[in-house]
Amino acid sequence: MTAKVEIYTWAACPFCIQAKQLLSQKGVAYTEYGIDGDEAARAVMSNRADGRRSVPQIFINDQHVGGCDDMYALDAAGRLDPLLNS
């Protein structure tokens, strides 16, 4: 089974670009929600992300993973691949 991956981004955000690059390197398909300047979409993201308003915010199988640094930390700890393959 392949994980459902969702990422909320801004177009020019370097952390968003890094997060998407890691997912692409791993061959993971993801749904991207570009929320540039869309406060309603940002509110939806924030609600899902326990109040966090920074981008990116990443979800795997509807579980909030966090931002770019959080995802890279999971990867470094060997815990990202099992999530992506669940």
Per-residue pLDDT of the chain (86 residues; tens, 9 = 90+): 689 999 999 999 999 999 999 999 999 999 999 999 999 999 999 999 999 999 999 999 999 999 999 999 999 999 999 999 98
| Contact assessment for residue 83 and residue 65, using Cβ atoms and an 8 Å cutoff | yes
Instruction: Tell me phi and psi for residue 3, to 5 degrees.
Output: -70, 150
Single pTM value for the model: 0.95
30/76 Cα distance (integer angstroms): 20
Report the 10 Å Cβ neighbour count for 63. Answer: 11
Q: Which fold has domain 5-81?
A: Glutaredoxin (3.40.30)
50/21 Cα distance (integer angstroms): 25
